[in-house]
Amino acid sequence: MAITKLEDGRWFVDVEPIKGKRFRKRFKTKGEAQRFEASVRAKLAVTPEWNPRPKDARRLSQLIERWYELHGHAITSGRRRRNMLLFIAAKLGNPIAQTFTVSDLVALRKVELEEGALPRSINVRYSYLKSIYTELRRLGDIDYGNPLDTLKPLKPQQEVVSFLSKAQVATLVSALRDYSTFPHLALISEICLATGARWSEAQRLTWPMVRAGCVVFANTKSKRVRSVPISQALQDRLEAYFTKKDRFPFCREAFARMVKRCNIELPRGQCTHVLRHTFASHFMMNGGNILALKEILGHTSLNMTMRYAHLSPEYLQDAVRLNPLSGCL
């Protein structure tokens, strides 16, 4: 019994609301004893450390699905990210999410590096995994800390931006225009070269998004809508296409084959993105403004755009004028 009457007439409370939390006390009246017991049990309901949640036994894949249900579905690339994370979970053996440790992920990272994965790609994927715990804790779905908080990203070697020369652009565009199997292939490529759009942005373009000499890109990676001017010739070609078709079909692999056919060698993972790099690089080489380029590309940070700054004719020219050999040779 939680409350018993002692031989001396007093009342004894012996209550253990949870294992390891036991309270004993004597009172003169039964009412006082009952109130004490009630207060102890009430504290159990409102004090987290008195009422700990049972251990979370969900697997990592279940946590990923929960993240997608609560948050990921609202992200532009949420489904793709979910599939990527489920693939990582499978490679890890789908561990218990709460007992998963940094050392488990570091071991997988070592294997992926040995298999030839790029450090930057690994960093991106693992940051997505880390954000799963952060977001679910913010939403109150988990009550434990992020087991990946101590994971430090790899420091990749800074890559030189690859872009096409004017001769390569001419060769590629000519080959694409002659490729009758996919007549829209040249048009998508020219949109990227003329506006700096990502391939996916250009491929999603529809006629209502072409307005008064500009193309409007929506549902972008940065979540920002941006408008970029185009030439009348390109607008006329878009109008001619969209009078017959509603949208562009998927054709990324066909583009990759044409790049290979033109004997253009590119770094891994740059097949379509090289068009965006080519626009930005030539924009700066022709004297363009770095801030204007940031807006055209839709970058959220100027740091992202600065990778093209060195291509400006005036970039760091003081190094030539002010070095100690200036005027001596």
Joined together, the tokens standing for residue 188 give 């998508």
What tokens were used for 110? Answer: 């070592």
Catalytic residue, candidates 41, 120, 184, 273: 273
Q: Which of 109, 198, 282, 294 is catalytic?
A: 198
Catalytic residue check, 241: no
Q: Is-catalytic flag, 21?
A: no
Question: DSSP assignment of 8-30, as one string?
Answer: TS-EEEEEEEETTEEEEEEESSH
Q: What is the largest CA-CA distance in the chain?
A: 111
- Catalytic residue list contains 276: yes
Measured CA angle at 293 (ends 268, 249), to 5 deg? 55
Catalytic site includes residue 299: yes
22 included as an active-site residue: no
**How long a stretch of residues is the chain?**
329
Q: Return d(Cα 121, Cα 44) in angstroms, integer.
A: 47
198 tagged catalytic: yes
Tokens representing residue 194 in the block: 């003329």
Catalytic residue among 126, 133, 179, 308: 308
SS3 161: coil
Active-site hit among 66, 109, 276, 294? 276
274 vs 265: CA distance, rounded Å: 11
The active-site residue, picked from 221, 237, 257, 307, is 221
Amino acid at 132: I
Instruction: Please name which of 152, 49, 148, 140 lies closest in space to residue 98, comparing C-alpha atoms.
Output: 148
Encode 57-114 in three state secondary structure. Answer: CCEHHHHHHHHHHHCHHHCCCHHHHHHHHHHHHHHCCCCECCCCCHHHHHHHHHHHHH
Six-digit token string for 212: 């008064």
Element (H, E) at 4: strand 3-5
Catalytically annotated residue among 109, 277, 294, 299? 299
Tell me if 125 sits within 8 A of 84, measured CB to CB. yes
List the catalytic residues: 198, 221, 273, 276, 299, 308
